A and B are shown apart, each in its own frame.
Chain A
Amino acid sequence: MSAATLSTGVSTGEISPKLGYAATLLIAALWMVPFIWMLVAAFNPESIGAGMASLVPSYIPTLANFHEAWASADFPRYGLNTLIITLGILAVQIVTITLAGYAFARLEFPGRTLCFYLFLLQLMLAPVVLIVPNLTTIAKLGLYDSLMGVMAPYFASAFGTFLMRQAFRAIPRELEDAALIDGASVFQRIGFIYLPLAKPSLVAFSIVSVTAHWNEFLWPLMVINSPDLRPLTVGLASFTRGAEGAQAWGVIAAGTLLVSAPLLIAFALFQRAFVNSFVSSGIK
C-alpha cells in the first residue's frame, strides 16, 4: 500500500498534502516512542522488571521514582549551574558570532576566504580530540574546576559564525548603504539593520546552542571537581551509569524527565516562535 502511494507521489512529482501529513505523523510517532516510554516508566511503581518495557501503563501511578531521583542529587543547584552554563555561553556566543559573521559577510580584507574556510574546518574536529588541549589551556588560565572553565571553549562558534554570515549576506547591501549615508557607525548598522533582519537565524542558533550545552556530559565531567559546581547531566549520571548493578529504569526515567523538563517546557511555551524562526531561516 505504501509503495502504491509512494509511486503516485513520484509520478506527479509532488508530495500530496495527505501523504506529507501521513509521513509527518509517522516520523512524529517514531520520535515520540522513547518519550512516551520515559513518561510511562517514570510513574511505574516497579522500576525493575518485565513491565518496564511496556508503553501502556498498567499500574497505579506513583511519584516514588521522582522522590528517589530528587533525593539522589541536588537538582536545584545542578539546575542553576546548567542554567548559568548554557545562558552564559549563549550570551557571549551571540556577540562573537554576530561580529565574526558580519566580518566574513561584509568586510573586505585580504585572506578573508581562507580565514573563513579555516574557521569552518573547526566544525570537522571531534570535540573529544580537544579535551586534553582545552583542559590544559583552561588550567593555565586558572579556570580548572570552575563554571567559567566549562563555558570558555564554547565562546566562539564556527557553526554560529557560518549561520550568521549566510544570514547577513542575504540582507540587501542597500539597506546598510542607506544607514551609512545617515551616518550610522558599524555597530549601529549591525544593531539596527542586520540583527533585526537576521533574528530568525539567531533564534535557530540559540536553540541549537542551548540544547547542546544543556545536554553536554563529557566536557563538564572533565573540568568540574567540586560537587557544588556539577551541571545536571553529571549529577544525573551518578545513578544512570552504574555498570554492574541492574538499571533501575523507573528512577532513571524520572531523573531524565527532571533534567529535560525545563527545556521541554520552554519549547512548549515558545514553540510557535521557534518553528517560525526555523522556517524563515531555512527559506533563506
Chain B
Amino acid sequence: MTTTRRSLLAGAAFATSFALSPAFAQAPTEIELFFPVPVDGQLARDMAALIKEFNTAHPAIKATPVYTGSYDETLIKTRAAMKAGKPPAAVIMSANFLLDLKIEGEIQSMDALIKADGKSNDQFMGQFFDALHGNAVLDRQVYGVPFHNSTPLLYVNTDHLKEAGLDPDKLPANWEELVTTAKKLTKREGDRVTRWGMMMPSNYDYGGWILQALTHSNGGQWFNVDYGGEVYYDTPSMLGALTFWSDLVSRHKVHPAGVQAGGAVSSAFLSGQASMMLLSTGSLTHIRNNAKFPYKVAFVPKNVKNEVPIGGASLVIPAGVEGERRKAAWTLINWMTAPEKSGWWSRATGYFAPNKAAYDLPEMKEFLAKNPDAGIAVSQLAFAKPWFATYKTVPVRKAIEDELAAVLSAKKTPKEALVAAQKQADEIMRPYVEQTALKLPTN
C-alpha cells in the first residue's frame, strides 16, 4: 500500500520535473515550516489555511506546514531533524529557546538577508514592539522574527466581584489588594473550598513564566539579560515572589495547593470555580469565546513595580538551510509577520501582533474598539521585559519549576527551594560558564 502510493508519488514528481525542466518554469522550491500549536486545534487548521494562501500567492515556493506538538516537542523535533541532516527551512520556536539555539550554533543569523533587502537591523526590528527585541536580537544580530507574543494578564470574573460587594470597575492593582480581594472571593463550605479566589498555572513551561512575572513585579530580574550563564534564583526579589505564591496557598488559603496545569486553570475560571487567574494573553480569544459571564482583564498586580516578561514564539531559520530554500524561508517569514497576517493571527488567537503597524489597520482598530480587553493586553507591553533565556533554557527552567511544585505542595520552604534551584541551575550552566566568563588567561 505504502510502496504503491510512494512510487506513484515519486512517479508523478518525476514526470512533473521531466515535463518542466527544459522549459523556463522551474519546479517550486519546497520548504517546510515546523509549527507548534500553543492554543487549540482550530488554529492547526488556520495555519494550514494560511500556508495554502501563501503557496497560492507564491507559485515558485511550495511550503508545507508540519505540526510538531508542544513548544518543547518542537525543539526536540527540530534538533533531531537537524542532526539527521534534514533541517526544516523555518520553525516557529518558543522565543526563549533562541539564545540556547544560537549558543549551540543551531540557528542562523538573518543579518545578510536583511541587508539584501536594503535594510539595517534597526530598521528591520523597528517594525516590532521594543519589548520583543531582547529575545530576538542576540549579540546585535537578528536570529528570530517575532510571530506571536504574549504577556501574563490578570483575568477577573466581575460577576463574582459584584456578588462579594466589590466594585467591578476596580481590579486589584497590587499584591495587597490581590490578597484582600481573593479572600473575599474565596467561598467555602465547611473545610471544602467551592470557589478559589485566585489561580495561577504551575505546570512545566507555564510555572516558570508566571513566577518570572511575579519576580519582575517584585523588582527582580530572574536572569542576566546580557549573559546566558547566570540566573538570580536565590535573591530577595525572587524569595518574595515565591513566598507570595506559597502564602496564597497556605497562609491566605485562596489558591489551590499543588501543581495546576494551564488548561485546568482556564477551565476552572470558565466554569466559575475560580474568580481570578493569571494567564497568558494568548488565551484571550478562547476565554472571550467561552466565558458565559462578564470578565475584565488588568495588568499583573505589582508589589514593587509593574513589569512582566514576554512570551510567545519567533520564526527562526535553522543552520544548514542554504540557497533557494533559505530565500524561500525568508519570503515566508516576511509574509507571515507582515501587518495584515500578523493582525489576523492576533485576532484569531489573542496573542498580540508583534508588528506595530498591524494596529494601524482599520480591521484591527475596529476589533479593539469592540474588544477593549485586547487593548489592555497590548498596553502592558510598555512594561514588558525579555523572557528568561539561558544556556540550556529548558533544564535551567525545570530546576526551578520542580522546586516551585515542591513549595506549592508544602514540601519545602521557599528559601530551601530557591537555594536548591540555584545550585542545580549553576550546575547545569557550568560548562558554558567555564567556556566563557571563567575562561581566563593563565599566563
Contact = CB atoms under 8 A, between A and B. Distances in A.
Interface of A: 48-52, 72-73, 80, 84, 88, 131-132, 135-136, 138-140, 144-148, 218, 221-222, 225-227, 230, 234, 237-249, 251
Main secondary structure of the interface of B (DSSP, over half): helix
Given A72-B45, A132-B84, A222-B77, A242 B67 contact: no
Given A227-B48, A227-B64, A251-B41, A242 B263 contact: yes
Contacts of B269: 246
Q: Which 3 A-B pairs have the closest CB atoms?
A: A239-B41, A246-B266, A247-B263
A72 B205 contact: no
Interface centre among B40, B67, B83 (most CB of A within 10 A): B40
B70 A243 contact: yes
A45 B262 CA distance: 22
Interface string B300-340: 00000000000000000000000000000000000000000
B352 interface: no
A52 B84 CA distance: 43
Contacts of B86: 139, 144-145
Given A49-B270, A52-B267, A239-B42, 4 more contacts: A140-B85, A221-B69, A225-B64, A243-B262
A135 B41 contact: no
A52 B271 CA distance: 10
A148 B267 contact: no
Interface residues of B, number: 53
Contacts of A249: 267
Interface centre among B1, B84, B205, B290 (most CB of A within 10 A): B84
Interface stretch (B218-226, B232-240, B279-287): B279-287
A245 B266 contact: yes
Interface in B27-41: 32, 37-41
Contacts of B71: 243
Contacts of A240: 41
Interface centre among B79, B81, B269 (most CB of A within 10 A): B81
B83 A132 contact: yes
Contact of A139 (B65, B70, B84, B290): B84
Given A148-B2, A245-B263, A48 B290 contact: yes
A222 B267 contact: no
B76 interface: yes
Contact of B41 (A50, A72, A138, A148): A72
B422 interface: no
Given A144-B84, A244-B150, A221 B77 contact: yes
B88 to A, nearest CB: 8
B32 to A, nearest CB: 6
Given A48-B271, A50-B273, A249-B267, A242 B2 contact: no
Contact of A238 (B6, B67, B150, B279): B67
Contacts of A80: 1
B85 A139 contact: yes
A264 B83 CA distance: 38
B73 A221 contact: yes
B419 to A, nearest CB: 29
17 contacts: A50-B271, A52-B271, A132-B79, A148-B2, A225-B64, A227-B67, A237-B67, A237-B69, A238-B37, A239-B40, A241-B69, A243-B71, A243-B205, A244-B39, A244-B283, A246-B266, A246-B283
